[in-house]
């Protein structure tokens, strides 16, 4: 078999700007005046507790949600405008993979170039096999998503994103539900993807090791607001008690947190 | 007020879905494999149940009308009654109901599951409109298959009636006589009207089922609720449309 991994994808890359982004569902405010800037070509990790609005924020960047107010710009293009998806090659790696269950891994990857008629079947095959080879998935090509393990599904989802030759790559919880070794593997893949493609990557994750290990910069989102933005080294030495507690939680059996959570609802 | 808003929103979304799908009509030739697959699902897979049910509906219709009409010596008109009833009303309505149960529910379940598991969102981020690859081939397939299914239903119903007329003692109408009255009192317009109704019903059912599936929000539990909703709306819609289309065609 040809060594497809030798040819990296290199295309344009875009920065992302969130400008006073607000989002409410009915009366529940999920994002509150969020502003941040992701520079072209960097890996930007957004961390935060469950329910803090990370995935909703990512959906705004992907154009899957409309802001209540404020805006999201990809380069100079408004993310909420459907035409932006024609101008910017954007790929989102979903938390659960969102692979098409009725298609094999190969056909999942081939769907994008086929539907956009980017090349003939031989070209599509080369493109798909190259992505599968980068992620060591050649043997899974003919398998259906239901036949793959959780880690393999995530890798196929990343490979599918890679086939799109994205200019902006978004990851939603790429290491959730994976064992520590597979989590580290996925983190390595994300960093390698950037090296292969120079693509801007925004990663939403709970995974502290991933964030501190591969992020160029990171932000912590709490209760719908940006609590801090900086380089991983700055977060390691943070003096903010909420962030320190989030990044280095200790198990306190005498004063369990769930009791506190219970009280919060009262 | 909230329910009225939801109903109007549902109608608006369904119409919009039809318009959006129509925009991609030029992509249909290169979606030929998907179209054929949908024709198989909608047509070929539904054919056995349509054949069996329409045969027995024609039979029962002949039996009931034979029982009543033999009392006042009009049993020679059974052929025309069964023929017209099947062609103008029972054929298209019954096929539409079967398509709702057999195909519409499956469409809603599949699309709702794709929506819940973010496969539809994945298509959107890949700049592949879901209307183009998920809705359009189904609408095209149902428009092609409904006349075929309705014609088969009509034929099976007519032959079911003929069989009952011949072998039921108190009716005893020969097939020649049965089909002679069927031909005498029927025109091609009756057949065409039935086929037009079938087209309208099939298009409406698939559109409603696609829209309900693609509008599903929440978790896996919502998939079942969406299927129930789609089937109920489709059945009501078939009967409401039946009145208006019949009135328009008369």
Pairing of strands A28-38, A225-230: unpaired
- Convert the pLDDT of each residue in B209-238 to its tens digit: 999 999 999 888 999 999 999 999 999 999
Q: Which residue has the higher pLDDT, B53 or A193?
A: B53
A4-89+165-265: CATH superfamily: P-loop containing nucleotide triphosphate hydrolases (3.40.50.300)
What are the domain boundaries of chain A? 4-89+165-265
Widest distance between CA atoms in chain A? 64
Q: Distance between CA atoms of B125 and B196, rounded to whole angstroms?
A: 38
Given pLDDT bands bounded at 50, 70 and 90, which one contains residue B247?
Answer: very high
**pLDDT of A4:** 41
Residues linked to residue A74 through DSSP beta bridges, in sequence order: A16, A77
Is A149 in a helix, a strand, or coil?
Answer: coil
* Residue in B with minimal Cα distance to A82: B127
pLDDT of residue B161: 94
* CA A60 to mean position of chain CA atoms: 12
CA distance B126 to chain A (A): 7
pTM: 0.87
Proportion of chain B above pLDDT 90, given as a percent: 85
Q: Test A64 with B124 for CB contact under 8 angstroms.
A: yes
Instruction: Dump strand ranges (E) for A103-249.
Output: 168-172, 200-204, 217-222, 225-230
CB contact under 8 A, A96 and B118: yes
Query: Which of A86, A94, A115 lies at the smallest CB-CB distance from B118?
Result: A94
Q: What pLDDT is recorded for position A3?
A: 44
Point out which residues pair with A219 in neighbouring strands. Answer: A46, A229
Mean pLDDT of B48-52: 96
Span A74-117, pLDDT tens digits:
999 999 998 898 888 899 999 888 999 999 999 999 999 999 99
- Scanning every residue of chain B, which has its alpha carbon at the shortest distance from the alpha carbon of A96? B117
For B139-170, what is each residue's pLDDT tens digit? 999 999 999 999 999 999 999 999 999 998 88
Q: Which residue has the higher pLDDT, A37 or A248?
A: A37
Best residue of A64, A103, A170 to probe chain B, by most B CBs closer than 10 Å: A64
Give A251→chain B minimum CA distance, Å: 32
Inter-chain touch A101–B127, beta carbons under 8 Å: no
Find chain B residues with C-beta within 8 A of A156's C-beta. Answer: none
The per-residue pLDDT for A8 is 47
pLDDT digits (tens, 9 = 90+) for A124-155: 999 999 889 888 899 999 999 999 988 889 88
User: Which helix (H) or strand (E) element contains residue A18?
Assistant: strand A16-25
Strand order in the sheet with A69-74: A28-38, A16-25, A69-74, A77-78
Suggest the residue from A102, A112, A115 to mutate for an interface test with chain B (most B CBs closer than 10 A).
A115
Q: Residue B68: its pLDDT value, please?
A: 87
A15-24: average pLDDT: 93
H or E segment and range at residue A193 = helix A180-197
């Amino acid at each position: 078999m040809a060594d497809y991994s030798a040819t990296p994808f290199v295309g344009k890359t875009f920065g992302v700007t969130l400008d006073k982004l607000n989002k409410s569902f009915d009366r529940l405010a999920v994002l509150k005046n969020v502003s941040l800037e992701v520079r072209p070509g960097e890996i930007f990790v957004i961390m935060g507790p469950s329910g803090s609005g990370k995935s909703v924020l990512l959906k705004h960047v992907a154009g899957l949600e409309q802001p209540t107010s404020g805006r999201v710009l990809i380069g100079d293009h408004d993310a909420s405008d459907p035409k932006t998806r024609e101008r910017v090659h954007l790929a989102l790696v979903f938390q659960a993979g969102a692979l098409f269950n009725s298609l094999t891994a190969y056909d999942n990857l081939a769907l994008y170039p086929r539907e956009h008629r980017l090349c003939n079947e031989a070209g599509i095959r080369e493109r798909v096999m190259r992505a599968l080879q980068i992620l060591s998935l050649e043997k899974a090509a003919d398998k259906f998503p239901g036949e793959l393990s959780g880690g393999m599904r995530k890798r196929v989802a990343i490979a599918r994103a890679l086939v799109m030759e994205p200019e902006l790559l978004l990851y939603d919880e790429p290491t959730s539900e994976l064992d520590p070794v597979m989590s580290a593997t996925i983190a390595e893949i994300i960093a390698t993807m950037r090296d292969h493609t120079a693509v801007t990557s925004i990663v939403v994750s709970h995974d502290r090791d991933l964030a501190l290990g591969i992020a160029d910069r990171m932000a912590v989102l709490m209760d719908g607001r940006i609590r801090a933005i900086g380089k991983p080294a700055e977060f390691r030495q943070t003096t903010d008690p909420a962030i320190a507690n989030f990044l280095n939680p200790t198990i306190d059996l005498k004063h369990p947190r769930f009791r506190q959570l219970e009280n919060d609802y009262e | 007020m909230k329910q009225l808003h939801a109903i109007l929103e549902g109608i608006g979304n369904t119409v919009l879905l039809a318009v959006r799908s129509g925009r991609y009509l030029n992509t249909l030739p290169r979606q030929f494999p998907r179209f054929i697959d949908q024709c198989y699902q909608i047509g070929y897979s539904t054919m056995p149940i349509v054949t069996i049910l329409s045969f027995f509906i024609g039979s029962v219709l002949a039996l009931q009308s034979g029982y009543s009409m033999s009392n006042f010596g009009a049993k020679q008109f059974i052929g025309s009654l069964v023929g017209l009833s099947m062609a103008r009303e029972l054929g298209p309505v019954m096929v539409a109901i079967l398509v709702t149960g057999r195909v519409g529910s499956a469409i809603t379940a599949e699309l709702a599951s794709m929506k819940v598991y973010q496969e539809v969102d994945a298509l959107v981020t890949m700049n592949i409109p879901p209307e183009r690859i998920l809705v359009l081939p189904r609408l095209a397939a149902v428009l092609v298959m409904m006349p075929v299914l309705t014609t088969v239903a009509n034929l099976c119903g007519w032959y079911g009636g003929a069989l009952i007329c011949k072998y039921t003692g108190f009716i005893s109408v020969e097939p020649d006589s049965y089909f002679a009255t069927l031909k005498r009192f029927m025109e091609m317009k009756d057949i065409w009207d039935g086929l037009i109704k079938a087209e309208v019903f099939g298009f409406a059912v698939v559109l409603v089922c696609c829209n309900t599936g693609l509008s599903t929000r929440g978790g896996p539990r919502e998939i079942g609720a969406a299927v129930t909703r789609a089937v109920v709306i489709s059945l009501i819609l078939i009967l409401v449309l039946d009145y208006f289309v019949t009135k328009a065609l008369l």
